[in-house]
Structure 1
Amino acid sequence: MTGTPHVVSDVMTRTVLALHHGAAFKEIVTALQQWQVSAAPVVDDDGRVVGVVSEADLLRKEEACDGAPVRYGDSLPDSRSTKAASVTVEELMTVPAVTVHPEATLPEAARSMARHGVKRLPVVDANGLLKGVVSRSDLLKVFLREDEDIAEEIRHTIVPHLFADSAGPIRVAVDGGVVTLTGRVTDTTLIPVAVGWVRSVDGVIAVDCALTGPRHRPDLDPDLPGDERVSPA
């Protein structure tokens, strides 16, 4: 994978389990076990995502059937008791489904997962049609990127843009996703910009910046005109 930033369509799983909104309880359990997933999107007759059903949704029915005695007046909370009595995916599923678009960036997908407390997101197009699923493990794929691939992107995209007139060669080394930048630059105010940009490159785990300003040569005769120098900040 090359280019920055990568988007959901670069890493998502395209062949996925999708449950029809009329699927029965046992069909759901069987499908989840066969596909070895803990949740699946639910689609309508046109293939649009209308919800998500998970093992947690199914276990609520098991909780109501565990054989434990129930005292008079005891009951499950309304939302849980409703799902416990449900027999179809349309009644069990969680709505609305939390989805993501194929062109969303990986950080956007990660933030959505964290915000909603889910491990995977159905990927839908502008019409709500299911295109795939992106999971936490999919988002981690970028960290399997080869070190040299990361280094080449930084050398060809970031270094020429920021340091075309550098005081010397800018060296980029990557080891296990950790980027080391060395060399002298003319404008030291661009160093924090470079570090932030490098951190945004897919596959980068950390940045070790050893960039410095140009060598300072003492002004032997500061009274002579036309030889003013400004020390780097």
Structure 2
Amino acid sequence: MNLKSLCKREVVGIPATASLREAATLMCEQHVGSLVVVTNDTPSTVVGLVTDRDLALDGLGHAQVQSDQPVGELVHGRPLAVPSSAGLREAADAMESAGVRRLLVVDDDGGVVGIVSADDLLESMAEDLAKLARALRRNVERETSERGVFTGAARPRVTYPSFGTVASQ
């Protein structure tokens, strides 16, 4: 599975010059937990990603910060991105090495096609594990129906005593 298939929502952008209050309002209106911060240039350039957690901890959580502070000031470092063709493991590796919970997903030309979160990866991995568990159960059911249940002579049952003693039959 590639990351593009996990990107189901429209990417919401905000100019780097917009205020923290505008960013918070936009997150509420669009019901998103992150915004792509862009320049005012034409065409705009991605500066980075700002999350609801960034707003709370780095923005409004500090006494000296004002709600009219530009949201672009919360962006730290280069934008982190993974190709849309990347797999779940590559995204998880990138999140781990960067210590982030969200990544930009870009196409071959570098255009942003979505955002993938740790929650998205966990959900997809959990679905894959559930499929594997169902496959294992169906295999046991199939083998039982094809081969029947073993009805041979019972063997002595091995019991395991407490540590430090010898097993008996």
TM-score normalised by structure 2 residue count? 0.63
Counterpart of 2:34 in structure 1 is: 39
The structure with the largest helix share of the pair is 2
List per-residue Cα deviations over 1:145-170 (Å, max 9, x = no partner).
597xx6xxxxxxxxxxxxxxxxxxxx
Q: Distance in 1 between matches of 2:129 and 2:100?
A: 29
Q: Distance in 2 between matches of 1:24 and 1:115?
A: 30
Gaps of 5+ in 2: 141-169
Q: Distance in 2 between matches of 1:142 and 1:175?
A: 12
Q: How many residues are paired up?
A: 135
Q: Distance in 2 between matches of 1:178 and 1:135?
A: 29
Report deviation, 1:18.
1.7
List per-residue Cα deviations over 1:73-125 (Å, max 9, x = no partner).
xxxxxxxx7xx367112222223121111011111001111222222211123
SS in 2 for 1:41: strand
Counterpart of 2:146 in structure 1 is: none
Q: Distance in 1 between matches of 2:50 and 2:109?
A: 21
List per-residue Cα deviations over 1:132-153 (Å, max 9, x = no partner).
1112232222543597xx6xxx
Q: Over aligned residues, Cα RMSD in angstroms?
A: 3.1
2:76 to 94, 113, 132: 94
Counterpart of 1:113 in structure 2 is: 95
List per-residue Cα deviations over 1:170-216 (Å, max 9, x = no partner).
xxxx543648879xxxxxxxxxxxxxxxxxxxxxxxxxxxxxxxxxx
What amino acid sits opposite 1:87 in the alignment? Q
1:62 and 2:60 are equivalent in the alignment:
yes
Is the CA contact 1:54–1:93 (under 8 Å) kept in the aligned structure 2? no
Gaps of 5+ in 1: 1-5, 66-80, 151-173, 183-233
Q: Distance in 1 between matches of 2:117 and 2:136?
A: 24
List per-residue Cα deviations over 1:31-82 (Å, max 9, x = no partner).
12223333222123424422111234323343332xxxxxxxxxxxxxxx7x
Is the CA contact 1:7–1:105 (under 8 Å) kept in the aligned structure 2? yes
SS in 2 for 1:97: coil
SS in 2 for 1:40: strand
SS in 1 for 2:95: helix
